[in-house]
Amino acid sequence: MEKKGDSAGKMPLDIAREQAKQGDAEAMYQLGRYYLEGKGVEQNKEIASDWWLRAAMKGYIPACHELGLYYFFLKNDAENAIKWLNKSASANYAPSYLILSNIYISGWDGEPDIKKALEFSLKAVELGEWRGAIDAAKIYLTGEEGVVDVDYDKAIELLQIPVDNGDIYSCFALGYALNAKCEMVNSYSWEMVEKAFGYMMKAAMDGYPEAMFRVAYSYMEGRGVIWDMDKAREWFDKSLAKEYRVDDINDIISKYYSGDGSNMLYPSLVYWHQISKNNPDKITEKEPYTDEEGYMNQSAVARGAAQCGDINANAYLGYALMDSDPDKAWDYFDVVIRHGYTNFAEIVGKEYYTGKNVKQDLARAARYFAYGSELGDIQCTLSLGMMLTSDGVSKDMEEKGKLLLQSVCEAADEDSETYRYAKTQLDRLEQRDNSTISKLSKGLKSMFGKNK
């Protein structure tokens, strides 16, 4: 039985027993709690309910509530449960409104009564019972014909209350609500799906199985997070370990991936297509998303999603244009980097620096490293510092590079590779300079010695 009201032990057992015999309502209630919990007496829920009934007949509100719970949970007697819960609720006892909401939303007293469930759950919230917000939010998420329309904004507002109180399920539900809102026409925003992913991840980290499953799908589709198949597999495995789904991981992947399952693009194309179709007002470059045979035009779909603000679509287009149109690629990558993914500045900069997958372009590499460094990315600062202190650069550039490396050493953990790389390069430069000075000194001594 759910325990509401005062807990047993507030009044010592011997005092509760003595005062209950004298007709004290609170003592009767407390004595009932002792019998419910079996503390100091043999547990007996029937005796407990008898004492609560006596207290309730004297108008003691917590006893009315407890009696309602007794009939609801132990006797499966909805009629008497509602009778006593209504009595305590009429005295603005918040927990009673919460239980009444549960009864009406589930229909345990007959057919569900969504109108009453919503009324009582909102009243519970008004009186400070945060769990009432969960019931009310569920109703707004699904709606009820003739009673209330679907209202994601109201559901999101309500779910924030239990989230702030540490409720794991509500973190998951809030993530779900934010994603659902984004799927409405012209309502998509990366910021919102990113926020949804954050709440899903919090619930997943706290062990909520369905959240683990949704996090896996988010990594696979690139929904609110940079796509990462390794992390998708990791979270699929975690959800399966919790027995949330019995599907084999490869069966799940095969629904989204063609061939051997290595193609990262296909599931995102499906998602981007949905974004592009649902947000026509945000699309300035109108293009057909499928050809005459019905096959998806991935470039058009990606461009549509990118115009709607999807970060993965911008990243994909940036990579696609790095060789053929590096200036346009910069525009796409700029969206990604400015949104906070500054590590892309280092990743793309290294591509241009090494010429591994694109034509080598040191000027563009420096531009990306400098941009990331300005935005506070320490790896970009390190890469730019290493680049400016490489052999063959001018003295002025080398001095700027040294300053960058020094700033890295000041900011990085001394045990990190970042610190070691920067410190090693600075030490190498110092040794080189000392060696040069030493050779110059020896040359001068030799010269003056001959003149003597």
Give me the phi and psi of 88, to 5 degrees please. Answer: -70, -35
Q: What is the pLDDT of residue 95?
A: 96
Give me the CATH number covering residue 58. Answer: 1.25.40.10
Instruction: Tell me what the mean pLDDT of segment 327-339 comes to.
Output: 96
Please give the structure tokens belonging to residue 292. Answer: 């005459």
- Residue 40 within a domain: yes
Interval 136-171: pLDDT, tens: 999 999 999 999 999 999 999 999 999 999 999 999
Please give the structure tokens belonging to residue 439. Answer: 């050779």
Angstrom distance (rounded) from CA 142 to CA 137: 9
Angstrom distance (rounded) from CA 418 to CA 379: 7
- Residue 36 within a domain: yes
- Residue 71 within a domain: yes
- Residue 4 within a domain: yes
The length of the chain in residues reads 452
Q: What is the pLDDT of residue 294?
A: 72
Angstrom distance (rounded) from CA 42 to CA 61: 25
Reduced to 3 states (helix: H, G, I; strand: E, B; else coil), residue 268 is helix
Interval 402-452: pLDDT, tens: 999 999 999 999 999 999 999 999 999 999 877 766 655 555 555 555 544
Interval 230-257: pLDDT, tens: 898 899 889 888 877 655 555 655 555 5
Question: Which residues span the domain enclosing 26?
Answer: 1-91
Going along 13-142, which residue ranges are E strands? Answer: none
| Radius of gyration, alpha carbons of the chain | 33
Q: Assess contact for 147 and 118: CB atoms under 8 A.
A: yes
Place of tokens 């949104």: 339
Angstrom distance (rounded) from CA 179 to CA 183: 7
> For residue 327, which of 367, 380, 373 has the smallest C-alpha distance?
367
- Residue 51 within a domain: yes
Domain total for the chain?
A: 1
Instruction: Tell me what the mean pLDDT of segment 72-90 comes to.
Output: 94
Q: Assess contact for 79 and 112: CB atoms under 8 A.
A: no
Interval 269-297: pLDDT, tens: 889 989 999 999 999 888 888 777 777 78
- Residue 313 within a domain: no
pLDDT at 362 over 60: yes
Query: pTM of this prediction?
Result: 0.82
Angstrom distance (rounded) from CA 247 to CA 238: 13
CA atoms within 13 A on the CB side of 212: 18
